[in-house]
Amino acid sequence: MSAQPLGVDQQKTDSEHLRLLVIFHYVCAGVMAFFALFPIIHLIMGIAIVAGWLPEQPGNESPAALGWIFIGVALMFMMIGFTFAGMVFRVARKLKARQSFTFCLVISGLLCLFMPMGTALGVFTIIVLNRPSVKALFDSSVAGSH
């Protein structure tokens, strides 16, 4: 058994945990981006209504306003999903570079809203980021970059 200082073991543990969190954040961002594509069905339906591709039934005209509502809501949900997936992707990059501690902490808190995978990832990220040794890693990377 080698006699390594306690700090070396803690640094290895912190580095490994941060490496795993980076991987899981990339995976979570990809899954979120995939789910952000689900409203594309409503977008296509809205375009079909506005363009008049649907067969007309006697006495029942499809209003173009309904199509625009479908398009607007679908685009809004897709934009929100892609924006948040992009922020989770950015957190992964910031964790890898040991930068933007507060940004990583805030997005990890918001990530807890996306159950069940986001909740687990957000909680584990908050736990790891609140370790004093991890905070020191972020502080040392900021001091080393100036």
Q: Is 129:122 a contact under the CB 8 Å cutoff? A: no
Q: Is 58 inside any structural domain?
A: no
Looking at the domain assignment, is residue 20 inside a domain?
Answer: yes
Q: Which two tokens stand for residue 8?
A: 């070396």
Question: What is the reported pLDDT for 76?
Answer: 98
Q: Is 100 within the bounds of a domain?
A: yes
| Domain span holding position 117 | 13-53+63-138
Domain count, the chain: 1
pTM of the model: 0.82
- Tell me whether residue 4 is in a domain: no
How many angstroms from the chain centroid is the CA of residue 146?
A: 29
| Below-70 pLDDT ranges, the chain | 1-6, 56-62, 141-146
